[in-house]
Amino acid sequence: MDDATGRLMELRFAASESAFDYFASTRAYLEQHGKPVAFYSDKASIFRVAASDAAKGMGITQFGRALSELNIDIVCANTPQAKGRVERAHLTLQDRLVKELRLRSISTPEAGNAYLPVFRADYNRRFGREPVSPHDAHRPLRDDEDLDRIFSWQEERKLSRNLTFHYKRVMYLLEPGPETLSLAGERCRVHEHEDGRVEVRHGDKLLPCRTFFDKVPRVRQGAIVTNKRLGAVLNKIRRDQQERDGQRLASRKLTLRQKNRIRSAMARADKAGSP
C-alpha cells in the first residue's frame, strides 16, 4: 500500500508467507512502480531477525539482504496500531474481497490472482486519494541491478581443495579449469532460485558447477501424491528401503545378530507384500 495515497500497489495469493513469495511480489512492484524509499512492515521473521538469532550473528534476513542490494530501507512497526492504515485495508480485503471472489465463483489461487488487478483498480478508484505533493519518490531500476540474482536465496560456502561444497544435503563440484582451480579454499556464494536452479558465484563471476552427490531421496517424507500414483510411490519407497537394508547388511560394523534381525525383517516384509 502506498503511504501517500492509500492505494493498493500489489496483491497476491500465495500458499504461505515464504521468502520467494515476497520476492515475487516485490519484483512485480518494482517493475511496475520503481524503487520506493522504504517499506514499512510488521516484525515478521521474513523482515526482521529475532533478537535471539541476532545475538548469534544472524543480522539480516534474505528479504532484508535483497532490499539492501537495491538500496531500499525497511522499517518495522513496533505495534500493529502503528501501521493502522494497512490494518484497516486488511479488514476491507478480508471482508469485501472474499465476497467478491464468492460472487464470481473464484476458488483457486490462480483464478484469484488473475482477478486481483481488477479488484485493485476498483479499490483504488473508490478509496484512493490524491497525494499532498505531486513528487514521486520512486527511483528507476538501474541496468546493473539483476533482479534474477538479487531475488534468489543466497548462502556462502567454502570450497574444498577438490572444489566441492555442500548445500542442502547435496554435494556440488565446480568444473576444474583455469577459472576455478585457483579458488580452492575460497568462499563462494550459492544462489538458489524459486524453480530449484542452483548457481555458484565468486564475486560477480558465475562458475561452472554440477551435482556431484545427492543425499536427498527422490521420494521425500511427507510428499503429497494422488491416489492414482500412491501404489507406484509405495513400490518405490519399498525398493529404496530394501536397497538401504542391503547396504546395511554389507557393512562390517554390524554384528551377526543385527544382520540376522535385518534379514528376518526383510523376509517378513517380502511375505507380507507377496500376492
pLDDT digits (tens, 9 = 90+) for 8-27: 999 999 988 889 999 999 99
Q: Is 93 left (phi over 0), alpha (psi -120 to 50) or beta?
A: alpha
Question: Cell 505495534 identifies what position?
Answer: 79
Contact 160, 184 (CB under 8 A): yes
CA dist 165 and 241 (Å) reads 28
Percent above pLDDT 70 for the chain: 84
Lowest mean per-residue pLDDT among 164-178, 201-215, 224-238: 224-238
pLDDT, greater one: 13 or 227: 13
| Residue 131 reports pLDDT greater than 80 | yes
- What residues pair up with 76 in beta bridges, in sequence order? 41
Cell numbers of 106, please? 473464484
Cα separations (Å) of 254 from 244, 259, 263, 265? Answer: 14, 7, 12, 15
Average pLDDT in the chain? 84
pLDDT band at residue 168 using 50, 70 and 90 as cut-offs? confident
Determine the Cα–Cα distance for residues 254 and 185; give it in Å rounded to an integer. 36
259 or 217, greater pLDDT: 259
* Residue for grid cell 518495522: 76
Rounded CA-CA distance 45/127 in Å is: 30
Summarize pLDDT for 70-124 with one digit per residue, the tens: 999 988 887 766 667 777 888 888 898 999 999 999 999 999 999 999 999 999 9
- Rounded average pLDDT over 193-214: 88
Better-predicted residue by pLDDT, 155 or 234: 155
Q: Which three cell numbers stand for residue 201?
A: 558465484
CATH architecture designation of domain 19-127: 2-Layer Sandwich (3.30)
Strands 198-202 and 205-207: antiparallel
